[in-house]
Amino acid sequence: MKLKKMIKKYFTLFFSFIILILLSNYTYSVEPEEFLKNKEQETLAREITKNIRCLVCQNQSIDDSDATLAKDLRILVRSKVKEGKSKKEIYNFLTARYGDFILLNPPLNKSTYLLWFLPIAFLLIGIYVIYKFSRLSKKL
The domain limits of the chain are 31-107, 108-140
**pLDDT value for 101:** 84
Q: From CA 41, how far away is CA 81, in angstroms rounded?
A: 6
pLDDT tens string 15-70: 777 777 766 655 556 666 677 778 888 888 889 999 999 888 878 888 888 888 98
Q: From CA 54, how far away is CA 65, in angstroms rounded?
A: 7
Query: 31-107: what fold?
Result: Helicase, Ruva Protein; domain 3 (1.10.8)
Global confidence as pTM: 0.62
CB 50 within 8 Å of CB 63: yes
Q: From CA 131, how far away is CA 47, in angstroms rounded?
A: 44
pLDDT confidence bin for 140, thresholds 50/70/90: low
Q: From CA 87, how far away is CA 44, in angstroms rounded?
A: 8
